[in-house]
Structure 1
């Protein structure tokens, strides 16, 4: 769906001076916009994760990456609430 198709049903509320003050968006349009936004955020996060991984792989290949034993990592993740305990 093209941007112009999504924006077509949007209506504007104007004040006495004709200035736009609010926007009225049909629920279906809003839901599509939220779904698209969620996809964009997820793609951005995936891209950021890839950059972090590539950086770490380069540091590991050069011997500059820091490593920790798995049990230490697990304790830290549990303490930070990132793993169910």
Structure 2
């Protein structure tokens, strides 16, 4: 089975278009990236798209990770 560009294959092996996962933004991305011939420019467009769809970083997550990292090697005793 040949796959078209812009096809996403899930862990279950099902194929889905990028627009199915990311809506109109995914459709526009797929259409735009096919028009770009230069690989560097394609990478830049892909990075910009991914950065745009990622959720904003939550400062609390960073702080919690630091706390966990500091306590990771210690035994925790509940009294």
Superposition TM-score, scaled by structure 1 size: 0.28
State which structure, 1 or 2, has the greater radius of gyration over its C-alpha atoms. 1
TM-score normalized with structure 2 length: 0.29
